[in-house]
């Protein structure tokens, strides 16, 4: 496999895992041609900033915005232009992969993501 094919395979595995953990998760632009190393995901009801911080504490680095808007905390104008609901766009995280990533990295992400989503949803239920 080429590096691009391998990154696409890893990205697709990550997205399948995310949808297994959170069945209501949205993978933006999943059905159209896109970069093989990047995934934009939202879990309804969870804030992007909370996911970024929680995953960072678990040793996983992701972003809540596009690479060109790193450091800004605002809704993606691209997702808005694509017709994403504002609440969903505010929940979007970006996961980028590189040549050095492996299946092990995807599994580590999914474990951290699953633990975090489970904890956040439990906390939300208890607060309601």
Q: Which of 1, 32, 67, 68 is catalytic?
A: 68
CB 64 within 8 A of CB 54: no
- How far apart CA 43 and CA 5 sit, in angstroms, is 26
Is residue 82 annotated as part of the catalytic site, yes or no? no
Residues classed as catalytic: 68
């Amino acid at each position: 496999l080429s590096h691009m094919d391998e990154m696409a395979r890893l990205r697709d595995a990550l997205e399948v895992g995310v949808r297994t953990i959170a069945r209501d998760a949205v993978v933006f632009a999943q059905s159209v041609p896109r970069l093989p190393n990047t995934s934009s995901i939202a879990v309804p009801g969870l804030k992007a900033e909370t996911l970024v911080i929680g995953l960072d504490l678990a040793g996983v680095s992701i972003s809540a915005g596009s690479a060109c808007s790193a450091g800004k905390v605002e809704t993606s104008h691209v997702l808005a232009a694509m017709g994403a609901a504002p609440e969903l766009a505010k929940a979007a995280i970006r996961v980028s992969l590189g040549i050095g990533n492996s299946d092990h990295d995807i599994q580590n992400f999914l474990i951290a993501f699953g633990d975090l989503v489970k904890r956040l949803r439990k906390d939300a239920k208890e607060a309601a």
